[in-house]
Amino acid sequence: MMGNMMINTPFFGFHSHSRLASFMLAMVLLLGILLTGVARAGIEVREFDDPQQEALYNQLMFELRCLVCQNENLAASNADLAKDLRDEVYEMVTVQKLGEKEVKAYLVARYGDFVLYNPPVKKSTWLLWFGPLIMLLTGFVILVWVTKKKRVDNDTALNKAKRDEVRKLLDAEE
């Protein structure tokens, strides 16, 4: 009797022997397996000869920009080009034994200053560094100018209205 009750126990609103319940359970398990595979695909395991190489590599991953994503560093990007750049930087750090300056110089020569997350301040990057400040100041100047102009227009309108009122009063007295 007890064994018979266990078979008819509802599972997600369906009886356990229902085909729909079995299908739903299979889909949930399949989705879980697929999502686990995607999460594992994003982890890269790299071998380093010493901790300094690993520290340099990790530092560069956060200082170099993904050329496809533009607002992500190489560490955060999942783009194919970012993976290629990570591989290239790894080879330069571990096999070629290049330092930070050499790696950055190579990548800047190949891709331009844009590859650096913090490009240097020089003539070709002035707009990049000072453009936002110039736009902010321009907006502030326009805001002050418009506000001042409205105040002057309102004062002029009030003065004209007051003048007209005074004229009416003077005309009324005569």
Domain hosting 30: range is 2-41
d(C-alpha 160, C-alpha 168), whole Å: 12
User: Is the pLDDT reported for residue 152 higher than 80?
Assistant: no
Residue 155 lies in a domain: yes
pLDDT, tens digit, 9 for 90 and up, residues 98-123 = 999 999 999 999 998 889 988 888 88
Q: Using the 8-state DSSP alphabet, how is residue 124 labeled?
A: G
d(C-alpha 157, C-alpha 2), whole Å: 92
Q: Are 36 and 88 in a shared domain?
A: no
Answering whether pTM is above 0.75, one says no
Instruction: State the total domains in the chain.
Output: 3
User: Is the pLDDT reported for residue 142 higher than 90?
Assistant: yes
Neighbours of 129 (CB within 10 A): 13
CATH of the domain at 62: 1.10.8.640
d(C-alpha 39, C-alpha 74), whole Å: 18
The whole-number average pLDDT for the span 5-25 is 62
User: Is the pLDDT reported for residue 14 higher than 70?
Assistant: no
Tokens for 143, please give them: 């805001």
Residue 169 lies in a domain: yes
